[in-house]
Structure 1
Amino acid sequence: MKRPLAVFLPFAVCVCLLSGCWSKKELTDLAFVIAVGLDKTEDGKYLASFQVVNPGNVAGAVQRGGGAAGVPVSIYTSTGDSLVEASRKASEKVSRLLYYAHTNLVVVGEEVAREGMDGVFDALERNQQFRTTARLVIARGHSAKDTLSVLTPIDKISANKIIKTLEFSELAWGQTMNADVWWAIRSLASPGRNPVVTGVVIEGNPKEGKRQKNVQSSVPDARVTLKGLALFKHARLIGWADGPTARGIMWVLDRIHQTNLTIPWGGKREAIGYRIVRAKTNVEADVKNGQPSILVHIKAEGDISEARVPINLADTGVLFRLEKQFERGVKQEVAKAIETAQRERTDVFGFGEAVHRADPRLWKKIEKEWHDRYFPELDVTVTADLYIRRTGLRNRPYIEE
Structure 2
Amino acid sequence: MRTGLKIAWAIGICCLLAGCWDIKSLQDVNYFTGIGIDYENERYEMYIQQLDFSSVAKSEGGKSDRPAVVWVGQASGKTLSEAIIELYQTTQQAVFWGHLNSIVFSKRALEHADLLGVIDSLIRYPEIRYTPWVYGTDKPLRELYTTRPFFNLSPMNSILYAPETNYNQRPIIAPMRMSSFIRSLREPGQTTLLPSLSITSHTWTQNRKPDPKLEINGVYVLRNTKYLEWLPAEKLLGVRWLVNKKQGSRIMLTEGDERVATVRLSRPKTKVRIEMGSGEPVFNVEVEAVATVLEMWKEKTEAELEKMAGEQMRDQIRSSHSLGLEIHADILGLEHRLYRRDYAAWKRLTADGHTPLASPRLGEVKTTVKIANSGMYKMKHRRSEY
Which interval holds the TM-score relative to the shorter structure?
0.7 to 0.9
1:89-128 to 2 correspondences below 5 Å = 89-116=86-113, 117-128=115-126
CA distance in structure 2 between the aligned counterparts of 1:163 and 1:375, rounded to whole angstroms: 35
Contact 2:270 2:286 in 1 (8 A): yes
CA distance in structure 2 between the aligned counterparts of 1:323 and 1:158, rounded to whole angstroms: 42
1:273 Cα offset (Å)? 0.8
CA distance in structure 2 between the aligned counterparts of 1:105 and 1:358, rounded to whole angstroms: 34
Counterpart of 1:281 in structure 2 is: 270
1:235 pairs with 2:190:
no
Residues 40 and 180 (structure 1 numbering): CA distance in 2 closer, same or farther, change over 3 Å? same
CA distance in structure 2 between the aligned counterparts of 1:370 and 1:69, rounded to whole angstroms: 54
1:275 Cα offset (Å)? 1.2
Counterpart of 2:29 in structure 1 is: 30
Unaligned runs of 5+ in 2: 1-11, 381-386
Spell out, residue by residue over 1:79-110, the C-alpha distance to the aligned partner (whole angstroms, 9 max, x if none): 11111111121112221222211111111111
Aligned letter for 1:33?
A: F
The residue matched to 1:179 in structure 2 has which SS?
coil
1:387 pairs with 2:370:
yes
The residue matched to 2:287 in structure 1 has which SS?
strand
Residues 70 and 170 (structure 1 numbering): CA distance in 2 closer, same or farther, change over 3 Å? closer
Residues 340 and 62 (structure 1 numbering): CA distance in 2 closer, same or farther, change over 3 Å? closer
Contact 2:241 2:270 in 1 (8 A): yes
1:180 pairs with 2:180:
no
Unaligned runs of 5+ in 1: 1-11, 313-317
Counterpart of 2:260 in structure 1 is: 271
Q: Pick which of 100-109 and 249-258 moved more.
A: 249-258
Aligned letter for 1:50?
A: I
Counterpart of 2:304 in structure 1 is: 321
Spell out, residue by residue over 1:215-266, the C-alpha distance to the aligned partner (whole angstroms, 9 max, x if none): x75865311111012211221332122244222122211432211111224x
Which aligned segments of 4 or more residues in structure 1 are displaced greater than 6 angstroms? 19-24
1:277 Cα offset (Å)? 2.9
1:164 Cα offset (Å)? 6.1
Contact 2:43 2:78 in 1 (8 A): yes
1:135 Cα offset (Å)? 0.6
CA distance in structure 1 between the aligned counterparts of 2:127 and 2:358, rounded to whole angstroms: 38
1:180 Cα offset (Å)? 0.8
Contact 2:32 2:95 in 1 (8 A): yes
Counterpart of 1:132 in structure 2 is: 130
1:195 Cα offset (Å)? 0.9
The residue matched to 1:59 in structure 2 has which SS?
helix
Spell out, residue by residue over 1:111-152, the C-alpha distance to the aligned partner (whole angstroms, 9 max, x if none): 111224232222233332211111111113x12221111122
1:389 Cα offset (Å)? 1.0
Aligned letter for 2:35?
A: V
CA distance in structure 2 between the aligned counterparts of 1:286 and 1:157, rounded to whole angstroms: 52
Spell out, residue by residue over 1:167-226, the C-alpha distance to the aligned partner (whole angstroms, 9 max, x if none): 123222222211111111111111110211111111129xxx9xxxx9x75865311111
CA distance in structure 2 between the aligned counterparts of 1:276 and 1:175, rounded to whole angstroms: 13
Aligned letter for 1:347?
A: D
Residues 204 and 194 (structure 1 numbering): CA distance in 2 closer, same or farther, change over 3 Å? same
CA distance in structure 1 between the aligned counterparts of 2:368 and 2:177, rounded to whole angstroms: 31
Residues 369 and 174 (structure 1 numbering): CA distance in 2 closer, same or farther, change over 3 Å? farther
Q: RMSD of aligned C-alpha atoms?
A: 3.2
Which of 336, 346, 350 is the aligned partner of 1:363? 346
1:61 Cα offset (Å)? 7.0
Aligned letter for 1:36?
A: I
- Of Structure 1 and Structure 2, which has the larger fraction of its residues in helix? 1
TM-score by length of 2: 0.83
The residue matched to 1:361 in structure 2 has which SS?
helix
Contact 2:35 2:46 in 1 (8 A): yes
Residues 112 and 229 (structure 1 numbering): CA distance in 2 closer, same or farther, change over 3 Å? same
The residue matched to 1:145 in structure 2 has which SS?
helix
Residues 365 and 260 (structure 1 numbering): CA distance in 2 closer, same or farther, change over 3 Å? same
Counterpart of 1:191 in structure 2 is: 188
1:306 Cα offset (Å)? 0.7
Contact 2:196 2:216 in 1 (8 A): yes
Counterpart of 2:280 in structure 1 is: 291
Which of 322, 337, 354 is the aligned partner of 2:337? 354
CA distance in structure 1 between the aligned counterparts of 2:109 and 2:36, rounded to whole angstroms: 11
Which of 81, 85, 88 is the aligned partner of 1:88? 85
TM-score by length of 1: 0.80
CA distance in structure 2 between the aligned counterparts of 1:255 and 1:136, rounded to whole angstroms: 20
CA distance in structure 2 between the aligned counterparts of 1:70 and 1:262, rounded to whole angstroms: 38
1:246 pairs with 2:236:
yes
1:333 pairs with 2:316:
yes
